[in-house]
Amino acid sequence: MAASRRRLARVPLLIITLWKRADARRPSEEIDRVAAKRSPAFQDLVNEEGGDLEAGTAPVGEELEKEIERLLDQERFEPPAEFAQNALLNDPAVYQEAAKDPQRWWAGHAEDLHWFERWDTVLDDSEAPFYKWFHGGKLNASYNCLDRHVEAGIGDRVAFHWRGEEGEERDVTYADLHRDVQRLANALKDRGIGPGDVVGIYLPMIPEVVVAMLACARIGAPHNVVFGGFSPSSVKERMEFSEAKALITAD
């Protein structure tokens, strides 16, 4: 009997425009409100601890030794032979070629990407040890991840498979992702977000996380992904430290 598959509907995203650092308390209150709605546990934290989690007790003695042993323990699983044979890099000659002339090797692979402006130098080592790869070139990560595949006529191919903790599933095609990314990118631009503006992403592990990251890359806005289990005060701190101009979350 085939296993049942539950489809997950698209999750509406909420864009919170953050205030300047002088008004730091205001985004904190907004984050508290949204986080409390996302999880009842957050409401208890906000009411009892003002949004702050209590510090845990560090392990000591025998408990500490066991914890250290657990962290240092290594478990390795060799890949199946069939899987290894189908690996993208299974020819030693490829490694030897890359080691012999790294710049030429990387330049050849860079040709597979779309460049709005071609690079002047593959590797600029004039300020070593601070190296600059493909100096002078301009590309867009979102365009290379999505548009070039849609334009090549393979938009109906699955970009990634997603499976939730409770068995929900969704197959996201390049065309689906391209449409959603464009919509969110335009929504960010409508709210005054542009190149260089940091955008926070505070979401559970859902497909919309990918949409949010690619939308930011599309408009040149650096993104800052915040772990979905953090307390509102922790989210607030990370937004302030990164000087984020907006926060993408789910209500």
Residues 175, 156 contacting (CB under 8 angstroms): yes
Q: Which segment of 11-20, 58-67, 120-129, 225-234 scores lowest on mean pLDDT?
A: 11-20
Q: Which segment of 13-22, 32-41, 178-187 scores lowest on mean pLDDT?
A: 32-41
State percent of the chain over pLDDT 90: 54
- Mean pLDDT over 53-61 rounds to 55
- Mean pLDDT over 122-145 rounds to 94
Q: What is the b/e burial string over 30-56, where b = at least 16 CB atoms within 10 angstroms of the residue's CB?
A: bbbbbbbebeeebeebbeeeebeeeee
Q: Which fold has domain 11-47+114-249?
A: Rossmann fold (3.40.50)
**Segment 160-219, tens digit of pLDDT:** 999 988 888 999 999 999 999 999 999 999 999 999 999 999 998 999 999 999 999 999
Tokens of 146: 């999505």
Q: How confident is the model at residue 55, as a pLDDT?
A: 44
Residue-range domain boundaries for the chain: 11-47+114-249
For the cut 50, the answer to whether the pLDDT of residue 54 exceeds it is: no
Higher pLDDT, 120 or 17: 120
pLDDT confidence tier of residue 25, bands split at 50, 70 and 90: very low
Is the bond preceding residue 129 a cis peptide, omega within 30 degrees? yes
Strand 246-249's sheet: what is its strand order?
14-17, 246-249, 199-202, 223-225
Residue 188, helix vs strand vs coil? helix
CA distances from 19 to 37, 114, 131, 240 (A): 21, 36, 36, 10
- Mean pLDDT over 60-65 rounds to 78
Q: How confident is the model at residue 111, as a pLDDT?
A: 95
pLDDT confidence tier of residue 67, bands split at 50, 70 and 90: confident
pLDDT confidence tier of residue 58, bands split at 50, 70 and 90: low
pLDDT confidence tier of residue 42, bands split at 50, 70 and 90: very low
